Amino acid sequence: MSSFKRNLQEILKYPSAIAGSLIILALVIVAGIVITTIPYSEAIRLWRGGEDVWYANPQYAPPAWINYFRSEKLPVSFALDSFESDGEQVVTTFEDVDGTTSRTNITYTFDFQADVVPQEISLYFDATYESKQPFASILWVTPDGREIRIGDFGVDKQRTYRLSQDEKLKRRLGGVPPMDGLFADPNSESGKPLKGTYQLLIESVAFEPGSTLHAEFVFFGQVYGLAGTDHQRRDLTLPLLYGVPIALAFGLLAALGTSIMTMIIAAIGAWYGGWVDELIQRITEVNLVLPFLSILIMVGTFYSRSIWTILGVTVLLSIFTGGIKGFRAIFLQVKESAYIEAARAYGSSDTRVIFKYLIPRMIPLLIPGLVSSVPAFVFLEASLAILGLGDPVLPTWGKIINDAQTNAALYKGLYYWVLEPAVLLMITGLGFAMLGFALDRIFNPRLRGI
């Protein structure tokens, strides 16, 4: 394939082609990793999971890295588990008192350097016992050594204790919301929280042999992770990452399907001529005046919003468009080539002429068009999702924007929620567009030398 090599060498002469290829390559690698590490069923389970899966995340939290751009630092979310005693952040001690009674002491230590109090702190207990509940008392130690008793209670088999919803604690803190009270700096006028190392101590007593207590400490900060979270506490990295393979698959399949079908149908029409050609031309003209998006919206509303249905309808509606006229015009020229006449003279059948002689001639023109049309389809899928017609099960970029929109993200100032998927959409579009333009220069002889 020396011509392939030649084309490749020529591609490398265009910086935009290199940049575009790198972007696409990066996207493909990400898509590959995502697909292999998060299986499809797992992704869907996580995406539809809701509170059970995502209880440990804050709601509406921007990504953690926005702190780099803020003077007032926001607390980062984290969780500490009593099973994972490491002697530093979590210290869990177990002491058997007399064979029946036992003590479990858990100390969570964390450094707090933010300028804003967290959304919430919760403790998720689960205990094992026959009839007598273990009893826990919880103590809060501030960096300046003050000790605040938070509460004492028997622990059910499953219990969630949310500090900020404890009315008794609120009263004990003098009527201020518990988060403000617990992090308050007694010497500060500004009401800024006190920075330093905080500790939360759980001292529990179990009254049965074999009875245990496990507690997870979850600190719901104001920011979370790489991408932030949405209204359902879902980590946005999941749909952002999973959106890559879906967007690529949809865009490439739609572009490939459309281009190839268009080309084959145009070739058939141009080769046979007569009523076949007439029919294809008339279908195209009718299809050109049909409102494309409206039909898709109707299909999405009344029939199915499955991405495969939408893909199929998109391809079907995109086949009979201007492209078919353009291809046909060129095929009509190629059809008259001497080499096609020669092929017929040595006995080629019609199908062979179409697929072996007409279509390969068109491939150089097809490739740039195909690459350039990918972004349009990626955006189309996103647009449909934004309009609420996206596939209901799949985590996609469009879905994120759709969620953001219904939750008034921009109104609430949660820009990250819209910007993250939008930036990815733009990068994808840019990558394919840059490569497409360069390929057009290389393959389209009319643009050569410009």
Q: Which amino acid is at 132?
A: K
User: What is the closest distance, in whole angstroms, from the C-beta atom of residue 364 to another protein in the complex?
Assistant: 8
Distances, alpha carbon 390 to alpha carbons 264, 382, 393, 407, in Å: 30, 8, 9, 17
Residues 53-92, one symbol each (x = binds another protein by CB under 8 A, - = not), give ----------------------------------------
Nearest to 183 by CA among 88, 123, 113: 113
Q: Spell out, one character per residue from 25 to 54, where the chain touches another protein: x when CB under 8 A holds, - when not.
A: ------------------------------
Q: Is 219 helix (H, G, I), strand (E, B) or coil?
A: strand
For residues 97 and 181, the answer to whether their CB atoms sit within 8 Å is no
Question: Are 183 and 194 contacting, i.e. CB atoms less than 8 angstroms apart?
Answer: yes
Write the CB contacts of 450 (distance below 8 Å, at least 6 apart in sequence). Answer: 441
215/362 with CB nearer another protein: 362
Q: Is 447 in the site for another protein (CB under 8 A)?
A: no
Report whether 239 contacts 417 (CB < 8 A): no
Q: Which of 187, 346, 446, 450 binds another protein (CB under 8 A)?
A: 346
Question: Which of 145, 174, 175, 347 touches another protein (CB under 8 A)?
Answer: 347
Under 8 Å between Cβ of 61 and 229: yes
* C-beta separation of 219 from 118 below 8 A: yes
Tell me if residue 183 falls in helix, strand or coil.
coil
Asked whether position 327 contacts another protein by CB under 8 A, the answer is no
Query: Which of 174, 345, 411, 450 contacts another protein by CB under 8 A?
Result: 345
Smallest gap from residue 342 Cβ to another protein (A)? 5
Q: Which of 146, 168, 352, 412 binds another protein (CB under 8 A)?
A: 352
Taking the complex as a whole, the smallest distance from the CB of residue 339 to another protein amounts, in Å, to 5
Which is closer to another protein, CB of 316 or CB of 340? 340
Which of 108, 112, 183, 357 binds another protein (CB under 8 A)? It is 357
Query: Contacting another protein (CB under 8 A), which of 338, 411, 445, 450?
Result: 338
Q: Contact between 242 and another protein (CB under 8 A)?
A: no
Q: Which is nearer to another protein, 199 or 348 (CB)?
A: 348
Q: How far is CA 43 from the centre of its chain?
A: 10
User: How many angstroms separate the CA atoms of 122 and 221, rounded?
Assistant: 11
Inter-CA distances, 417 with 27, 44, 223, 289, 306, Å: 20, 20, 12, 37, 24
User: Given the complex with another protein, which of 49 and 364 has the nearer CB atom?
Assistant: 364
Q: How far apart are CB 356 and another protein at their closest, in Å?
A: 8
The backbone region for 233, taken as left when phi is positive above 0, alpha when psi lies in -120 to 50, beta otherwise, is left
3-state secondary structure of 212: strand
Q: Which DSSP string corresponds to 67-81? A: GGG-SSPPPBPEEEE
2 makes contact with another protein (CB under 8 A): yes
Give residue for tokens 């005693």: 85
What 3 state SS string does 85-109 have?
A: CCCCCEEEEEEECCCCCEEEEEEEE
| Residue 296 C-beta: closest distance to another protein, Å | 36
Task: Choose between 168 and 356: whose C-beta lies nearer to another protein.
Answer: 356
Binding status of residue 9 toward another protein by CB under 8 A: no
- Which of 25, 363, 423, 426 is in the footprint of another protein by CB under 8 A? 363
Q: Work out whether 339 is an interface residue with another protein (CB under 8 A).
A: yes
Binding test (CB under 8 A) with another protein, winner from 348, 383, 405, 407: 348
Asked if 114 contacts 74 with a C-beta cutoff of 8 angstroms, the reply is yes
Strand, helix or coil for residue 223: strand
Instruction: Give the count of alpha carbons within 13 A of 87, CB side only.
Output: 0
Size of the site for another protein (CB under 8 A): 20
Q: Whole-angstrom Cα distance, residue 230 to residue 420?
A: 12
Interaction of residue 131 with another protein, rule CB under 8 A: no
Residue 353 or 393: which CB sits closer to another protein? 353
Tell me how far, at minimum, the Cβ of 44 lies from another protein, in Å: 44
- With contacts defined by CB under 8 A, name the span among 153-161, 338-346, 386-394, 422-430 that binds another protein: 338-346
Q: Which of 32, 196, 322, 360 binds another protein (CB under 8 A)?
A: 360
Residues 79 and 122: their CA atoms lie apart, in Å, by 9
Cα(312)–Cα(299) distance, integer angstroms? 11
- Does residue 271 bind another protein (CB under 8 A)? no
Binding of another protein by 361 (CB under 8 A): yes
Tokens of 111: 């450094």
Stretch that binds another protein, among 113-121, 223-231, 241-249, 339-347 (CB under 8 A): 339-347
Residue at 314: amino acid letter = T
Nearer to another protein, 145 or 347 (CB): 347
Asked if 285 touches another protein (CB under 8 A), the answer is no
Assess 159 for contact with another protein (CB under 8 A).
Answer: no
Binding site for another protein (CB under 8 A): 2-3, 337-339, 341-349, 352, 356-357, 360-361, 363
